[in-house]
Structure 1
Amino acid sequence: MGCCNRRCGLIAGAVFGAVVAILGGALIPLGKSVIEETVEKEVVIEPGTTAYDNFVSTGAKVYRQFWFFDVQNAQEVLQTGVSPVVVEKGPYTYRTRYLPKENITFDPNQTVSFMLPMGAIFEPSMSVGPEEDKVTSLNLAVAGAYSKVPKVVHMVLEKLIKATNSSLFQSRTVNEMLWGYHDPLLKGTIGLFSPYNGTFDGKYNVFNGKDDISKVGMINKWQGKRTLNFWNDTYCDMINGTDASSFPPFLDKKKPLYFFSSDICRSVSASYEQSLNLKGIEVYRYTLQPNTMASPTVNPDNHCFCKDKESTKNCTLAGVLDISACKDDNPIYISLAHFLHGSESLYDSVKGLNPSKEHHVTYLDVEPTTGFTLRFAKKIQVNMMYGPSKVITVFKKVKDYTIFPVVWMNETATLDDETADMLKKELISRIEMLDTIQKALLGTGVVIFALCLISYCMVRRKQSLIV
């Protein structure tokens, strides 16, 4: 009778274990559904959601750090035509994007429109010196005029340069180079980012994700248009992805992330590189790929980004993007910092550059379930071009077209501890708790079932031997 009760108990235990395991297994799809529903509710851009709070005003502090390329041999370049030798000087740090979005309007087609105000506040404690520090750099007005003025009127430009005592290089303060100064040649204000304070980026129109979560944050229009008009090509003028502050939830490592940057006047993509732990939160790191700025001979998709065949060596030059079409025809060339992934000729033209993937790559650290970008570093370099001239004195010794690096910047932000704790408490911890319960039920049930089944078999075997 005792053996019978023991066998019955083991059978009951096995059944109980099986039921618990089945319950744990059944919770997996149910739990996944609950997680998806919770996340989708919180990432929709509408008042009351986690996404909306971050959408209106960035919680993390955003900084722009600038490193200038200080010319060490300006007179030698002018007198003998040797390559400029530069030394990196920086960082000079400014806090940006501290102003909330303006004119937020919810449209009937499940989109939301807004304007992004621009502003910069100098941060002395994060800089190597004051804004009054001087750098010897390219004369923006002279280089700009050289690119804009046809060769047939170089004599006129020569007279203006001499009359204003201008030269190929100049010494200016950091503040002047970035935000503007009165130039005698142009008789107006010129600066790398002038005007900036008090201006706006946009108008943006993005999908709020309410009717289709896979489109949340995707740019529908920029400046009232669904495509750009800079490149005169359907492919290059496409506006793809988000503004990189967030992406649709439930990331797939195999798929790249697309985003549009008004700084470089085009859309780009970033690919998964590795998983990291950021303040207790798993993030996927995405980086720009080397072929992003490759020449069309290597990456045919870039054929329509090549505008000036003369200075880009018939579109074989890698690493630079002529964005003059979207910068009022100012001869601005964008590249990665220190011409990372650029052609060797770029380093031959200017000495002192040291590209490094560790220090100069652009990356995004994105939380994979929500699609929120929790840390990023956008690193781009502003360059200008100049070349030889038989008429203009300051260019007579120049042997070939030179794309000169003026400054590179790192726009960066990392979520703060308070936001990290909120995300872990309100969202990630709940997801992890549900996942733990599922695994615990499934694991416990399987163990109970296996132990009871093994014990039952052992009891049966022992009983049969006795008989």
Structure 2
Amino acid sequence: MGCDRNCGLIAGAVIGAVLAVFGGILMPVGDMLIEKTIKKEVVLEEGTIAYQNWVKTGTEVYRQFWIYDVQNPQEVVTNSSKIKVKQRGPYTYRVRYLAKDNITHDTEHHTVSFVQPNGAIFEPSLSAGTENDTWTVLNLAVAAAPHLYPNSFVQVLLNSLIKKSKSSMFQRRTVKELLWGYQDPFLSLVPYPISTAVGVFVPYNNTADGVYTVFSGKDNISQVAIIDTYKGKKSIYAVFGAEVNLKGIPVYRFVLPSMAFASPVQNPDNHCFCTEKVISNNCTSYGVLDIGKCKEGKPVYISLPHFLHASPDIAEPIEGLNPNEDEHSTYLDVEPITGFTLRFAKRLQINILVKPAKKIEALKGLKQNYVVPILWLNETGTIGDEKAEMFRQRVTGKINLLGLVEIILLSVGVVMFVAFMISYCACRSKKVK
């Protein structure tokens, strides 16, 4: 009888040990099997579910614009005073609804290249007004003139055309004109053939953004769809910020670090952004990047909205700015298992460098340089409720269920093993006595 009892206790301990070992083995093996199953469908290869959704995204992406309305244009022109601004908006457009084009696969480097056709549909229900709202903004053509034509004689000629067209440093323009273009009266008088269409995003229709090169995820699932290069150059990087919950899905938030907009003195990688001595203060100013080379030599600079993370000297001549980390930072929310970006907010500000020009009356009264903010945008997209539910069921639900099974097996196994072993030892001790 004692033997049967001891054998039963040992058998129970063995079963407990087997359950515990099985639960422990299931952790890495189960995770590996799930990752292998998921990887088949999330890699950007023809035939996968991820590829179909990636070519033409089902997630609605919106681009919101806030326009900087100048409150004291005459004071600035006459006295070179600080520019007082009020942001107006948002004016919201649906974008990136067209399918990606010119898709090519590089199997050696596990990347995919493409261009994104441009399209924008105004969304009145998500906007603070209409496209016909009119605000006082910088005159883009007048501000760019001395940069594009530094020769004094040419500037004298341009000045006569600016005066004839009754143009000034500032102008009144509708939202639609400022964003998508208008025929500039000053440029229309230039005697030789040039483009007279002016606007922040001119040209836009029938154009494409890119070339983008993204990782396919074939060799590293965590990098799927992450941008490697844009127009052949390495993209601005993001760093881990925090773990957040998005509609019941744990995601990692990656943010654009302040070092991405640092001065070349602080961040040598930004040496190519120090091209204009009057704005860089011998490369010690920070917070704005010169993209003039991409804009035909026009004095265009990008920054974070409201000059977030910029040096004080950049924002000092502008009144009415209120930089805020929550509202003005750029981030990506990435699901760590699949590498999918489930939510993002790309926030950037468009600025124009304006400097005094003695031969152009509209600018000769200035006594300082201004980096004038024109507008800032927030391009954002979030996984929909239906897709989030599907994602929870197919990915996080299975992983959570497997994790629960692993914990139960391990816990029950350990408890059984310890309990039966204690009972066996107690019986052996009693028998010996």
Interval containing the TM-score (normalised by the shorter chain): over 0.9
SS at match of 1:85: strand
Displacement after TM superposition at 1:416 (Å): 0.1
Structure 1 unpaired stretches of 5+: 228-237, 240-266
Residue deviations 1:428-454 (CA, integer Å, cap 9, x gap)? 222222222222211211111011112
For residue 353 of structure 1, what is the amino acid of its counterpart? L
Q: Is the partner of 2:347 in helix, strand or coil? A: strand
Alignment correspondent of 2:193: none
User: 1:129 aligns to what SS in structure 2?
Assistant: coil
**Larger deviation: 196-205 or 131-140?**
196-205
Q: Take 1:321 and 1:222, find their aligned partners in 2: how far apart are those partners?
A: 16
Q: Which moved more, 1:399-408 or 1:295-304?
A: 295-304
Judging changes above 3 Å, is the alpha-carbon distance between structure 1 residues 211 and 345 closer, same or farther for their aligned structure 2 residues?
A: closer
Structure 1 residue 372 displacement after superposition: 0.4
Q: Could you say what secondary structure the match of 2:348 adopts?
A: strand
Pairing 1:193–2:201 present: yes
Between the aligned partners of 1:189 and 1:169, the Cα distance in structure 2 is: 17
1:456 is matched with which residue? Answer: 424
C-alpha separation between the residues in 2 aligned to 1:456 and 1:119? 75
Partner residue of 2:158? Answer: 157
Shift of 1:9: 1.6
Kept in 1: contact 2:71–2:86 (CA 8 A): yes
* CA deviation map 1:29-70 (0-9, x unaligned): 211321221132122112332321221111211000000111
Give the whole-Å Cα distance in 1 for the aligned partners of 2:427 and 2:177: 89
Give the CA deviation at 1:202.
2.8
Q: Tell me which amino acid in the other structure corresponds to 2:238.
A: A
The one-letter code matched in structure 2 to 1:25 is G
Aligned pair 1:70/2:69, yes or no? Answer: yes
| Structure 2 partner of 1:102 | 101
CA distance in 1, matches of 2:171, 2:314: 22
Matches within 5 A, 1:2-21: 3-21=2-20
1:329 to 297, 312, 337: 297
Task: Give the match's secondary structure for 2:243.
Answer: strand
CA distance in 2, matches of 1:207, 1:277: 25
How many residues are matched?
Answer: 424
- Aligned mates of 2:49, 2:265 — CA distance in 1: 45
Distance 1:325 1:176, change over 3 A: same
By how many angstroms is 1:156 displaced?
2.1
Distance 2:222 2:5 in 1: 56
SS across alignment from 1:285: strand
**1:395-450, Cα deviation, whole Å (9 max, x unpaired):** 22211111000000000010001111121222222222222222221121111101
Check conservation: 1:272, 1:286, Cα contact below 8 A. yes
Partner of 1:349: 317
Paired residue for 1:441? Answer: 409
Per-residue CA deviations over 1:46-101 (Å, capped at 9, x if unaligned) read 23323212211112110000001111111111121111100111100001001111
Equivalent position amino acid for 1:65 in 2: Q
**CA distance, structure 1, for counterparts of residue 270 and residue 422 of structure 2:** 65
Return the match for 1:310 from 278, 286, 289: 278
Asked if 1:144 corresponds to 2:112, the answer is no
* Letter in structure 2 aligned against 1:171: R
- Give the match for residue 30 of structure 2: 31
> Any residues of structure 2 matched to 1:150-229 within 5 Å, and which?
150-153=150-153, 154-187=155-188, 188-206=196-214, 208-210=216-218, 216-217=224-225, 227=232
TM-score (normalised: structure 2)? 0.92
SS in 1 for 2:236: strand
Structure 1 residue 16 displacement after superposition: 0.7
Separation in 2, partners of 1:80, 1:305: 31
Instruction: Give the Å deviation of 1:275.
Output: 0.5
- More moved, 442-451 vs 426-435: 426-435
Matched to 1:202, the amino acid is: G
What letter corresponds to residue 416 of structure 1 in structure 2?
A: G
Cα separation, partners in 2 of 1:376 and 1:219, compared to 1, 3 Å: closer
Look up the match of 1:233.
Answer: none
Q: Is the 8 A contact 1:59 1:419 kept in 2?
A: no
SS at match of 1:404: strand
For the residues of structure 1 that align with 2:278 and 2:86, how far apart are their CA atoms? 28
Q: Which one-letter code corresponds to 1:181 in the other structure? A: Y
| CA distance in structure 1 between the partners assigned to 2:237 and 2:213 by the alignment | 20
- Report the Cα offset of residue 458 of structure 1: 2.8
Q: 1:105 to 1:318 in 2, by over 3 A?
A: closer
How far residue 14 of structure 1 moved from its aligned partner, in angstroms, is 0.5
CA distance in structure 2 between the aligned counterparts of 1:220 and 1:346, rounded to whole angstroms: 30
Structure 2: 5+ residue runs without aligned partners? 189-195
Determine whether 1:133 maps to 2:130: no
Secondary structure (helix, strand or coil) at the match of 1:197 reads coil
SS at match of 1:45: coil
Tell me, in whole angstroms, the C-alpha distance in 1 between the residues paired with 2:281 and 2:221.
45
Indicate which of 225, 229, 238 corresponds to 1:270: 238
Tell whether 2:380 aligns with 1:380: no
Q: Secondary structure at the match of 1:269?
A: coil
Partner of 1:259: none
Structure-to-structure mapping, 1:415-426, within 5 angstroms: 415-426=383-394
User: Normalising by structure 1, what TM-score?
Assistant: 0.86
Corresponding residue SS for 1:381: strand
The Cα offsets for residues 311-339 of structure 1, whole Å up to 9 and x where unpaired, read as: 32222211101101012222210000000
1:78 and 1:206 map into 2 onto residues whose CA distance is 46
In 1, the alpha carbon distance for the partners of 2:221 and 2:398 equals 21
CA distance in 2, matches of 1:401, 1:65: 28
Task: Please say if residues 14 and 453 of structure 1, whose CA atoms lie closer than 8 Å, have aligned partners that are also in contact.
Answer: yes
Aligned to 1:48: 47
Give secondary structure in 2 for the equivalent of 1:128. coil
Counterpart mapping for 1:362-377 below 5 A: 362-377=330-345
Q: How many angstroms apart in 1 are the aligned matches of 2:315 and 2:25? A: 61
Q: What letter corresponds to residue 374 of structure 2 in structure 1?
A: V
Alignment of 1:293 onto 2:261 = yes
CA shift digits 1:118-140 (9 cap, x unpaired)? 10000111111000001101001
Summarize the Cα distance change of 1:151–1:81 in structure 2 as closer, same or farther, 3 Å threshold.
Answer: farther
Give the residue type in structure 2 aligned to 1:116. Q
Matched AA of 2:96: R
